[in-house]
């Protein structure tokens, strides 16, 4: 039986009136799905997500095909995509070669990624944390010189499987390096989903006291331990108004044996709707899209809202 309607709107004074949802399902989500989809299906997914009213649809990643076979068709996807006016389609770019390929297919916004811990930098980037900006800064500079926006993803901002709790001051230093390199935005990643709301407020508030503009800060939560929405609310009350999420909860958690990874966009929209916060997203259309792509992947969506509403 379907519920009687959408949540009752009860606005809160200490929250933003509008939130930008940064949809990562087509990139971060599919990257962590084992079933490989054809480029045409990915293009349809991205176009449907944009048509749902999502303002930012991260589209793909220009990484080495042998590292992530799922995204080996990045250039084909971007070349085949019909882009809606007013919607942003950033792509992840790890290095100069990736940037060249992205620019070659008309990308106007990229994202780079670094780690807040040395252990993860060595595993994911193949170099110590101390030298990660030597690889990343030239890519940021080149992209900025071409007029591209650049988002800096920071992994392991709250906890790390090898190092345990991550201190906010260390994350703030990495954020400062990214901004000094020219990044126009940040995404604070809880890569293994262990953060709790007090940690989130501590980090965001620290960034605020160090002069980081809140309109440049996004948060990227994973629901591995069921904390993603609580952490989102904590970030909102600290002044963050850009939230990363993944349609249907696409993408498992790559560093834990859990089916639950990215915060699901529908679960986020349900909460924001209830708080009277504008997102521009058509929830029913998004639920249909997530049910459709889950079918293509041959598995059920992890989003609670999709499970509750999908026909
Ligand atoms: Mg993620």
Residue 4 within a domain:
no
Name beta bridge partners: 153.
113, 187
Residue 8 within a domain:
no
Over residues 231-257, the mean pLDDT reads 88
Residue 102 within a domain:
yes
The alpha carbon of 30 and the centre of ligand 1 are apart by a number of angstroms equal to: 10
pLDDT tens digits, 149-207: 999 999 999 999 999 999 999 999 999 999 999 999 999 999 999 999 999 999 999 99
Residue 207 within a domain:
yes
Residue 7 within a domain:
no
Q: Which domain holds residue 46?
A: 20-309
For residue 10, the Cα-to-chain-centroid distance in whole angstroms is 27
Structure tokens given for 155: 């992994």
Distance CA 205, CA 199 (A): 10
Q: Among residues of the chain, what percentage have pLDDT more than 70?
A: 95
For residue 187, the Cα-to-chain-centroid distance in whole angstroms is 7
Distance CA 206, CA 201 (A): 8
Residue 1 within a domain:
no
Contact present, 91 and 102 (Cβ < 8 Å):
yes
The alpha carbon of 24 and the centre of ligand 1 are apart by a number of angstroms equal to: 8
Residue 297 within a domain:
yes
Q: Residue 79 is part of a domain; what is its CATH number?
A: 3.20.20.70
- How sure is the predictor about 130, in pLDDT bands with cuts at 50, 70 and 90? very high
Mean pLDDT of the chain: 93
The alpha carbon of 244 and the centre of ligand 1 are apart by a number of angstroms equal to: 8
Residue 37 within a domain:
yes
Question: What residues have CB less than 8 Å from 109, skipping those under 6 apart?
Answer: 88, 89, 90, 91, 148, 149, 150, 151
**At residue 102, what are phi and psi to the nearest 5 degrees?**
-70, -45
Over residues 256-275, the mean pLDDT reads 87
Checking phi first, is residue 86 left (phi over 0); if not, alpha (psi -120 to 50) or beta?
Answer: left
Which tops the pLDDT comparison, 9 or 198? 198
Q: Return the active site residues.
A: 253
pLDDT tens digits, 201-226: 999 999 999 999 999 999 999 999 99
Q: How many independent structural domains does the chain possess?
A: 1
- What is the pTM for the complete model shown? 0.96
pLDDT of residue 69: 84
- How many C-beta atoms surround the C-beta of residue 100 within 10 A? 12
For residue 145, the Cα-to-chain-centroid distance in whole angstroms is 24
Distance CA 56, CA 25 (A): 11
Please identify every residue whose CB atom is under 5 Å from ligand 1, which is an ion.
28, 262
Residue with tokens 């990736």, as numbered in its chain: 98
């Amino acid at each position: 039986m379907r519920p009687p309607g959408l949540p009752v709107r009860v606005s809160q004074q200490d929250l933003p009136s509008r939130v930008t949802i940064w949809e990562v399902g087509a990139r971060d989500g599919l990257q962590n799905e084992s079933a490989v989809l054809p480029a045409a299906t990915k293009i349809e997914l991205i176009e449907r997500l944009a048509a749902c009213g999502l303002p930012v649809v991260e589209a793909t990643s220009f990484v080495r095909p042998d590292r992530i076979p799922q995204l080996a068709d990045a250039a084909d996807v971007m070349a085949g995509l019909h882009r809606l006016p007013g919607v942003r389609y950033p792509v992840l770019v790890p290095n100069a070669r990736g940037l060249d390929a992205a620019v070659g297919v008309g990308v106007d916004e990229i994202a780079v990624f670094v780690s807040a811990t040395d252990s993860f930098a060595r595993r994911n980037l193949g170099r110590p944390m101390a030298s990660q900006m030597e690889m990343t800064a030239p890519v940021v500079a080149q992209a900025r010189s071409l007029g591209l926006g650049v988002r800096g993803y920071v992994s392991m901002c709250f906890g790390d499987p090898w190092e345990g709790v991550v201190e906010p001051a260390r994350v703030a230093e990495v954020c400062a390096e990214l901004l000094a390199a020219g990044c126009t935005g940040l995404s604070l990643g809880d890569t293994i989903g262990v953060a709790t709301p007090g940690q989130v407020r501590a980090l965001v508030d620290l960034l605020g006291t160090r002069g980081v503009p809140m309109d440049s800060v996004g948060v990227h939560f994973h629901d591995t331990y069921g904390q993603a929405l609580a952490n989102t609310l904590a970030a909102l009350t600290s002044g963050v108004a850009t939230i990363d999420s993944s349609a249907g909860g696409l993408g498992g958690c790559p560093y834990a044996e859990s089916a639950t990874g990215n915060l699901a966009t529908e679960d986020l929209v349900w909460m924001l709707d209830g708080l009277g916060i504008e997102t521009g997203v058509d929830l029913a259309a998004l639920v249909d899209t997530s049910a459709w792509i889950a079918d293509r992947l041959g598995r059920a969506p992890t989003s609670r809202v999709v499970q509750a509403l999908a026909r």
